[in-house]
Amino acid sequence: MTYCVAIKLNAGLVFLSDSRTNAGLDQISSFRKMMVYEKAGERFMVLLSAGNLSISQSVREILQTTQIRDEADGEPVTIWNASSMFDAARVLGAAVRHVHERDGAALKRAGVDFNVSMVFGGQIQGEGMRLFQVYSAGNFIESTAETPYFQVGESKYGKPVLDRVLTPNTPLNEAAKCALVSMDSTLKSNLSVGLPMDLVVYEADRFTTDKIVCIDEHNPYFRMLHESWGQKLREVFDSIEDPAWNGGLTDAPILVSPARSKPLKKITNFREKLI
C-alpha cells in the first residue's frame, strides 16, 4: 500500500509520497510513487500514484508519449505541449485508459482488479496552478478552495490534521510541515506505509523548484517532528480534564449553555435508557 498527499495553496503546491510496496508479509520493497515533469520556465508538473504498482508504472512509462487530439484543430496534445493543466490531465486520463484497454482483460482473468489512483498537479505558463485526482477509469476531479488537498492510498490516518490546519492562505513551509505530520500519523498506524519519503515544494509562478528532498529515517528534521508531535499530542491530551462521573463537578469551562450542559452519569438501566 502507499500514502500520497498533494496540497494546493495560494503560495504554491506541496507533494509528499512514501515508497513502500508490499505484496505479502514477506514481500516488502520500496518504489518511488512520485514523478516530476519539468520544462524550466514553461511548465512544472508532479504525478503521485497509488494502487497496483504494475499499472501505475505502465501509466508513467507511456504518459510522456501519450497523445490526445485537440478538439479545435486536431493537433496532437501531450503533457509537454498542453496549453493547460486540464489538457495535461486529459492526457493522463487517456494513458490510464490505454493501459486498461491493453491489460484490463488479462488482469481480470487473473483475478486482479484494475486499481490505480493518481494525483497530478502543477503549473503551465499562461495559467495558475491546478491540482487533479485521477481515477481508474481515467476521469478526474479538480481541487477547489474548499478542498485544497487530495490524498490517495492509506488516507484516513493523516486526514484529520490536514482538515484542521490547511486553508488556501497557509504558508508553504507550514503546509509542508502539516503534510509531514499527516505522513507521520499514517506511518505510526499503518505498517503498509513506510520510509523513505519524497517531498516537493513548488512556489507559484516559478516553473521550477529546488525544494526536492528524499527523507529517510536518518533525516534530523523528520526525527525531530516525529518525536515532538507525539510528545505535544500527549501534553495536550493530559491537559484536558477527565470525564466527571455521577454528577461530579469539573473546573473545565462549559462550552454550551448551562441549561443544556450535563455531566456524565452512569446508566443503571440500559434498556430503559434506550427506550
Partnered with residue 133 across adjacent β-strands are: 119, 141
- Within 9-67, strands assigned E span 12-17, 20-22, 28-30, 34-39, 43-51
Strands 149-153 and 140-142, sheet pairing: unpaired
pLDDT of residue 253: 56
122 within 8 A of 37, measured Cβ to Cβ: yes
Partnered with residue 49 across adjacent β-strands are: 118
pLDDT of residue 150: 98
Tens-place pLDDT, residues 156-185 = 999 999 999 999 999 999 999 999 999 999
Which of 104-108, 190-194, 240-244, 259-263 is modeled with the greatest confidence? 104-108
Q: How confident is the model at residue 245 (pLDDT cuts 50, 70, 90)?
A: confident
Determine the CATH number of domain 3-216. 3.60.20.10
- Predicted TM-score (pTM) of the model is 0.88
Distance CA(17)–CA(1), nearest Å, equals 11
pLDDT of residue 202: 98
Strands 197-203 and 149-153, sheet pairing: unpaired
Q: How confident is the model at residue 220 (pLDDT cuts 50, 70, 90)?
A: very high
Tens-place pLDDT, residues 54-85 = 999 999 999 999 999 876 667 899 999 999 99
Partnered with residue 197 across adjacent β-strands are: 215
Q: Residue 143 CB: number of other CB atoms within 10 A?
A: 21
Which residue, among 128, 162, 152, has the nearest Cα to 52 in the 3D structure? Answer: 152
Tens-place pLDDT, residues 19-31 = 987 645 566 788 9
pLDDT of residue 244: 81
**Residue 12 zone, left/alpha/beta (φ > 0; ψ -120 to 50; rest):** left
How do the domains of the chain map onto residue ranges?
A: 3-216
pLDDT of residue 271: 55
Q: What is the rounded average pLDDT for all residues in the chain?
A: 90
Which of 126-140, 233-247, 256-270 is modeled with the greatest confidence? 126-140
* Residue 189, C-beta contacts closer than 8 angstroms, at least 6 positions apart: 157
pLDDT of residue 174: 98
Tens-place pLDDT, residues 96-112 = 999 999 999 999 999 99
Query: Between these two residues, 5 and 244, which has the higher pLDDT value?
Result: 5
Amino acid at residue number 211: K
Which residue, among 172, 134, 169, 116, has the nearest Cα to 2 in the 3D structure? Answer: 116
Tens-place pLDDT, residues 121-163 = 999 999 999 999 999 999 999 999 999 999 999 999 999 999 9
